[in-house]
Amino acid sequence: MNSKKIATLFILVLFLGGLSVFAAQDAAARVIKLKVSAEQANLREKPDIGSAVVQQIPEGTVLEADRKEGEWYLVRYTLEDGGVIAGYIHESLVTVMNPSQAPERKPEREPRPVSGPAKLPLGDRPSARPSWPESLVPIDVFLSAGGSTIVADDFNQGAAGLAGSNAALLGIPASGSVGALRLAYLLGFEVFYRISPRLSVGLGMDYLTGRRSSQVSYPSGDLSLFVPSTTTKPIVEAIPLKVGIRYYPRPDFYIRGSFAYYSVKAGYDYTFVASQDSWQEWKGWAKAHVLGMEVAVGGEWRIGPRLLFFSEAGFRLAQLDNFKGTDAYRSSDGSSSTEAGSLWYYQALGADGRSYNLLFVRSAEPSGSGILGARKAGLNLSGTILRAGVKFHF
């Protein structure tokens, strides 16, 4: 090949390369950059509200559109696995990031009057609330407070039994009754990572506490005499460490489920004042651990740019026994003792020959004359949960 032909070929290659670069630059300049402004947007197969949905795109996603067909943009969306899909998205769900490239909209036909406003399916509607600021990290933080029912029958009956046993010892009928512990209050903290607009996973913990103080007196009828009394206070504290998921069938409604490791501390505080100079006091604490679970449904309401109010109702399943702890005893005569062991529930004969339910920490299973039905005390934290709080959306 002579030099003249080589030069001609070289010039042709340069010319074709320049054309390709110019075409690429021109195509890039004509790309329309869009940002999803609704909470979620449907990417449809065709530019039609009745067309099949191929993907739901979360708010804040940046898209590239090749052209606009009427009210619809033809866009490309990159999946998590790196694949790219194309489809149509309605203009009401996005904002143009490079307005100079937005095509001038021209009506394709004469507008026709309609009897009412057009209704778009969920996912093709512009957000009724202001759109979220663009998230730096897909994290939600929940702070909550509320209450929960518990079943503390052994603790309640043990407190009532002690009050009845002291009445038998004094030979004086009790005035009043021992209240039952049935409610615990809670504080909660959770952090969830958004996997998608509908699903998030997270960790959290609660602090539950419940106690019920009661006083029963034994009046003799003579107002000039000292009135003996028994004071009881069953106590329950629990810290569940939770791992769970939240699923949002719609943006303002969710279903929550979690597994939890419960660390529970339960006990009693008893005081028996027989006279002005005679009293006895028992204080016991015992601990136990168990795995449990929770399920709940709730709703959310936007109150700020990154702040929501939420409330939920749910159910907890967690039951414990085999508590280990310590009992501390003191009396007015100066005696005191400490006993470590398990928390036991049993019946003991009183001074009137009747059996009374008691709950104490003992180093060994209660036995002997007048002791019946000894078993490890139990506590059931299963019950209804109601909570409300705030959600910080990052």
Q: Are 31-101 and 139-393 the same fold in CATH?
A: no
Half-sphere exposure of 232 (CA within 13 A, CB side): 26
pLDDT category at 14 given cuts 50, 70, 90 is very low
Distance CA 181, CA 153 (A): 8
- Is the pLDDT confidence value at 129 over 90? no
pLDDT at 82: 67
Helix or strand or coil: residue 241? strand
pLDDT category at 251 given cuts 50, 70, 90 is confident
pLDDT category at 121 given cuts 50, 70, 90 is low
Residues 6+ apart with CB under 8 A from 378: 154, 319, 320, 321, 345
Whether residue 280 contacts residue 332, with contact meaning beta carbons closer than 8 Å, is answered with yes
Whether residue 87 contacts residue 45, with contact meaning beta carbons closer than 8 Å, is answered with yes
pLDDT at 98: 64
- Highest mean pLDDT among 38-42, 61-65, 109-113, 332-336 belongs to 332-336
Of 207, 37, 204, the closest CA to residue 128 belongs to: 37
Tokens describing residue 297:
């449904």
pLDDT category at 117 given cuts 50, 70, 90 is very low
Distance CA 10, CA 21 (A): 17
pLDDT tens by residue, 204-250: 999 999 999 999 999 987 777 899 999 999 999 999 999 999 999 99
- Is the pLDDT confidence value at 125 over 60? no
Distances 348 to 153, 161, 279, 340, 377 between C-alpha atoms, Å: 17, 9, 20, 20, 15
Distance CA 168, CA 10 (A): 116
**pTM as predicted:** 0.67
Q: Which residue has the higher pLDDT, 19 or 208?
A: 208
- 31-101 is a CATH 3.40.50.300 domain: no
Residues 6+ apart with CB under 8 A from 265: 236, 237, 238, 285, 286, 287
pLDDT tens by residue, 260-308: 999 999 999 999 999 999 999 999 999 999 999 999 999 999 998 889 9
pLDDT at 6: 45
Q: What is the mean pLDDT of residues 136-165?
A: 94
pLDDT tens by residue, 24-68: 444 444 578 889 888 888 989 888 887 888 888 888 888 888 788
Domain extents in the chain: 31-101, 139-393
Q: What angle is formed at CA 316 by the lines to CA 313 and CA 317, rounded to 5 degrees?
A: 155
Q: What is the mean pLDDT of residues 92-118?
A: 55
Q: Which CATH number fits the domain 139-393, given the four candidates 2.60.120, 2.40.160, 3.30.70, 1.10.3470?
A: 2.40.160
pLDDT at 19: 40
**Across all residues in the chain, what is the average pLDDT?**
85
Helix (H) or strand (E) holding 155: helix 153-170
Distance CA 307, CA 291 (A): 32
- Is the pLDDT confidence value at 132 over 60? no
Distance CA 218, CA 197 (A): 63
**Residue 373, number of CB atoms within 10 A of its CB:** 10
> Out of 3-12, 80-89, 179-188, which region has the weakest mean confidence (pLDDT)?
3-12
Of 314, 292, 295, the closest CA to residue 379 belongs to: 292
pLDDT category at 99 given cuts 50, 70, 90 is low
pLDDT at 181: 96
Query: Measured on CA atoms in the order 166, 168, 169, 174, is the torsion positive or negative?
Result: positive
Distance CA 274, CA 280 (A): 8
pLDDT at 100: 52
Whether residue 237 contacts residue 266, with contact meaning beta carbons closer than 8 Å, is answered with yes
Whether residue 214 contacts residue 158, with contact meaning beta carbons closer than 8 Å, is answered with no
pLDDT at 45: 87
Q: What is the mean pLDDT of residues 312-340?
A: 96
pLDDT at 9: 44
